[in-house]
Chain A
Amino acid sequence: MALLIESVVKVIVVFGIFMGCVAYMTLLERKVLGRVQVRFGPNRVGPFGLWQPIADGIKAFFKEDLIPANADKPIFILAPMITVASALCLIAVIPFGDKITLFGHTIYLRITDLDVGILYLFAFASIGEYGVVLGGWASGNKYGVIGAMRAAAQMISYELALSLSVIGVIMISGSLSLSVIVEKQAHMWNVVYQPFAFIFYMVCALAEINRTPFDMPEAEAELACGYNIEYSSMKFALFFMGEYAHLVVVCAVATTLFLGGWQGPFLPGVLWFLIKTFVLVFFCIWERGTFPRLRYDQIMHFGWKILLPLTLANVVVTAIVMAL
């Protein structure tokens, strides 16, 4: 019973904070992108545009909810729900702090610790891919279908390199549990042993969440928006939230696997975790403002012919160095 109460409280608190982060990610991105492009970004709603995400959220609820005539209605409604729910579920295995003692209870600052934590992340991420594919397909729009297919092919291609890039970390830690991986980094971060794996991971992660320079699926200049072209109102907002939630999680996982998670001197663990994750998130926004979009065949070539062999080579080299 105590476990149930603890779990419910933890889930609700973390879920609330996570949703807040996701909402303010949109503001952060618009602000930073604005600065990159020498403009202000949102600054009308509240001081520094701080109420903008809330205003956007309320607006999304009251917008007209259109479902195109030749859409596959049940799947059209289900697709954004799959995307957002699976992205939000990813947060479960990420440890964001050391244990604390509250009213004589030892509470671990993570929702749960699974022995197969990394596989849990990949499992939910692969379910989330269906949201994009089905959303584009169900719209009954040519651009939607093309965007969905591009997204699907790109995500599965980079998922391979992504899962290969974390193998090195698993080998060093000897565990699939994210908590154990963080504990093993008490003296030295994994990025020191696996610098290339970290770079590969970040590149694949950007492709996995369809971000510039890999934002082919929603290339607005040629596909008018891609898979979410027919979506409006809250359903569009759900796709949007799913994307940002996934971005935050990807950066949090990079922090956990490569940058020592919540470990760090002087400051409390949670703060270290937030700082590291924020730096990576900021990097993702920054590079969006910097890089142009790649062509689709370039993306597929890069994934299959360059990243896949390189990540595999990384695994082999790690194995040889560790065995000798």
Chain B
Amino acid sequence: MAVLIAKWVIFVITSLLAIVSSLLMITRRNTIHSALFMILAFVASAILYLLLGCQFMAMIQIIVYAGAVMMLILFVIMMIDLSKEEKLKMKVTRTKIAGVIVSVLFMLALILVMGLNSVKGKLGALSSIGDAKTIGTLLFTKYLLPFEVASILLLAAMVGAVMLSKKKAFGGEDQ
């Protein structure tokens, strides 16, 4: 019983942390601050993975998203000078209000269509593929093709990254 309550309390705290930091991330004018809140949101979602029993996913979430992806975003922020944009005031326009209403409606529609119960059933299955061994066995037998395709995707991304940075980095003197 105590364990269940503790789990529930941690779940509520982490979910609130994830939601609040996501909201703060969107609303901060200072880009570095919003990047920090994004890291926090990623870490919170990693803890949510952990509560579901997916240890491996939780750690990968931190290593890849909170570590590598956010480091890339930080580099980009530091590379481009955003001091002018940061001084812009946020204006509440009709389009923005309409956007908020539409997205809330869309979320409600999704919940109605899919139903909360369908989510519950899926969560039970998740915890059984939590550890690295099960993931490895599944990945290298049942999901072999997606795994090999992923390598081609990574290769394409590599080529893309080099091309993008080449053009901008060395401008005229591109060899």
Contacts and interface: CB of A to CB of B under 8 A. Distances in A.
Q: Do A and B bind each other?
A: yes
B33 A119 contact: no
A123 interface: yes
State the majority secondary structure of interface residues on A. helix
B68 A116 contact: no
B170 interface: no
Interface string A114-150: 1110011011001101100110011000000100010
Looking at A115, A129, A137, the one whose CB has the most chain B CB atoms below 10 A away is A115
A137 B32 contact: yes
A123 B59 CA distance: 6
Nearest to A122: B63
A116 B55 CA distance: 7
B66 interface: yes
A137 B67 contact: no
Interface string B14-58: 000000000000000010110010010001001000000001101
Interface stretch (B71-79, B89-97, B113-121, B139-147): B71-79
B131 interface: yes
B132 interface: yes
Interface in A132-191: 133-134, 137-138, 145, 149, 152, 156, 176
Contacts of B63: 119, 122-123, 126
Interface in A87-122: 114-116, 119-120, 122
Contact of B60 (A78, A119, A152): A119
A237 interface: no
Interface residues of A, number: 25
A149 B74 CA distance: 10
B62 A127 contact: yes
Please tell me the size bucket of the interface on B. Answer: 20 to 34
Nearest to B66: A127
Contact of A176 (B2, B67, B68, B132): B132
B56 A116 contact: yes
Contact of B132 (A115, A130, A137, A138): A115
Contacts of A138: 32
A138 B30 CA distance: 12
Interface in A26-80: 72, 74-75, 78
B32 A127 contact: no
Given A133-B71, A152-B71, A156-B71, A116 B132 contact: yes
A97 B149 CA distance: 44
B67 A120 contact: no
Nearest to B6: A4
A123 B132 contact: no
Contact of A126 (B2, B67, B132): B67
Contacts of B58: 116
Contacts of A115: 55, 131-132
Interface string A1-39: 100000000000000000000000000000000000000
Nearest to A176: B132
A137 B36 contact: no
Interface string B123-158: 000000001100000000000000000000000000
A130 B56 CA distance: 22
Given A127-B43, A134-B36, 7 more contacts: A115-B131, A122-B59, A130-B71, A130-B74, A137-B78, A152-B71, A152-B75
8 contacts: A78-B36, A116-B55, A116-B132, A123-B46, A126-B67, A126-B68, A137-B32, A149-B75
Interface of B: 2, 30, 32-33, 36, 39, 43, 46, 55-56, 58-60, 62-63, 66-68, 70-71, 74-75, 78, 131-132
Q: What 8 A-B pairs are tightest by C-beta distance, nearest first?
A: A126-B67, A119-B59, A123-B62, A116-B55, A123-B59, A116-B59, A123-B63, A122-B63
